[in-house]
Amino acid sequence: STFVAGLEKLKKGEIEPYGVPLAGELPIDFKDIRIVGSYDVDRAKIGKKLSEVVSQYWCDVNSLSDDPAVSTGVHLGSVKNLPIEAEGLEDSMTLKEAIERLVDEWSKLDPDVIVNTCTTEAFRPFGNKEELLKAIEDNDKERLTATQVYAYAAALYAKKRGGAAFVNVIPTYIANDPAFVELAKENNLVVFGDDGASGATPFTADVLSHLAQRNRYVKDVAQFNIGGNMDFLALTDEGKNKSKEFTKSSIVKDILGYDAPHYIKPTGYLEPLGDKKFIAIHIEYTSFNGATNELMISGRINDSPALGGLLVDLVRLGKIALNRKEYGTVYPVNA
């Protein structure tokens, strides 16, 4: 809803593009982005106009330039223990049938870019395409997650259409799973992902890059995140929290070239914090002549707007990559 509300205001010139990293640097304008479809698994939202759903969170957005009805998606247990009544296509049909339904609907909507923002899931990568195809054929609802089903459906849609892009901003491995990357290349699908890190993690990455450039030796890193929105509630599930930890922790070795001891993952749920999460970062490093220094940073960051601004760019980059036929995953975007 934050992405939709912010995009509408951008298109109407009501706000400045703060928080959109590549605001004026891409050949595709904000006004060129059209929302042709929307999916949810919350029974209270399905069937309603997108504007009606968005206005529940953003009272200053009463109408949308593009206002599709919210269609039924796939959940596969991803919203278990959350305070919503879930409804998914897989409740009344096989996974194969659900995928066929999605591909048929998308073929009518004709999107260039499909964005996955569903709740963080507990997942296992596939590693090879054969295992993925078998899980779908066997209707293995325990093995597959909603994101994996959406990504597979996106590949079939891209093949049928002649190209599409799939943007995955949750931690489930798609761009980092060889099975899905191979599938994407074979079916003319561009894949971006995984996990739209937009709060403390990119800030920590920037600090680590700064220290690496100056040849400081990082001794340890601690990063804490506590929030009160639906995603942080989902992350109280150990399996889902572990998924988030995978994508966050990988930045240390990627940037430094060595795996400094670190603790980087969502730390807890506190409802009064709402969407404005609390973050704390501690980094200890060695400088010239053995001097040991410490950085301690704390702050409050609005979670959804940070991701919403990033999505404005990712959608446009997805279309650019699609036009260039850069099928598979695009590392410079993912990084």
Q: What is the pLDDT of residues 167-192, one digit of tens each?
A: 999 999 999 999 999 999 999 999 99
Average pLDDT of the chain is 94
For residues 43 and 185, state if they share a domain: yes
For residues 161 and 243, state if they share a domain: no
Q: Name the residue among 37, 47, 43, 49 with its Cα closest to residue 105.
A: 37
For residues 184 and 233, state if they share a domain: no
CATH number (domain holding residue 9): 3.40.50.720
User: For residue 249, is pLDDT > 90?
Assistant: no
- Return the higher-pLDDT residue of 244 and 32: 32
For residues 149 and 298, state if they share a domain: no
For residues 171 and 32, state if they share a domain: yes
Residues 6+ apart with CB under 8 A from 79: 41, 42, 86, 119, 234
Distance (Å, rounded) from C-alpha 231 to C-alpha 310? 17
Average pLDDT over residues 252-279: 93
User: For residue 247, is pLDDT > 80?
Assistant: no
User: For residue 60, is pLDDT > 80?
Assistant: yes
Average pLDDT over residues 79-104: 96
Look at residue 33 in the predicted model and tell me its pLDDT.
98
Look at residue 63 in the predicted model and tell me its pLDDT.
85
Per-residue b/e over 117-138, b at no fewer than 16 CB within 10 Å?
A: bbbbbbbebbeebeebeebbee
For residues 75 and 109, state if they share a domain: yes
Average pLDDT over residues 13-30: 95
For residues 287 and 210, state if they share a domain: yes
- Return the higher-pLDDT residue of 201 and 286: 286
Distance (Å, rounded) from C-alpha 275 to C-alpha 333? 26
Q: Which of 56-65, 152-161, 217-226, 293-302 has the lowest mean pLDDT?
A: 56-65
For residues 179 and 213, state if they share a domain: no
* Amino acid at site 217: Y
For residues 134 and 248, state if they share a domain: no
What is the helix (H) or strand (E) element at residue 23, kind and residue range? none
Rg (CA), the chain: 20
Please spell the DSSP secondary structure of 46-70, one letter per residue. Answer: TTSBHHHHHTTT-TT----SS-PBE
User: For residue 61, is pLDDT > 70?
Assistant: yes
For residues 54 and 155, state if they share a domain: yes
Average pLDDT over residues 16-31: 96
Look at residue 248 in the predicted model and tell me its pLDDT.
65
- Return the higher-pLDDT residue of 144 and 237: 144
CATH number (domain holding residue 270): 3.30.360.10
For residues 79 and 174, state if they share a domain: yes
Binned at pLDDT 50, 70 and 90, residue 243 comes out as: low
Binned at pLDDT 50, 70 and 90, residue 199 comes out as: confident
Domain count, the chain: 2
Binned at pLDDT 50, 70 and 90, residue 209 comes out as: very high
Look at residue 170 in the predicted model and tell me its pLDDT.
92
pLDDT per residue as tens digits for the range 120-137 = 898 999 989 999 999 999
User: For residue 246, is pLDDT > 70?
Assistant: no
pTM, rounded to two decimals? 0.93
For residues 38 and 63, state if they share a domain: yes
Domain hosting 110: range is: 2-196+305-334
Q: Find out whether 126 and 152 touch, Cβ atoms under 8 Å.
A: no
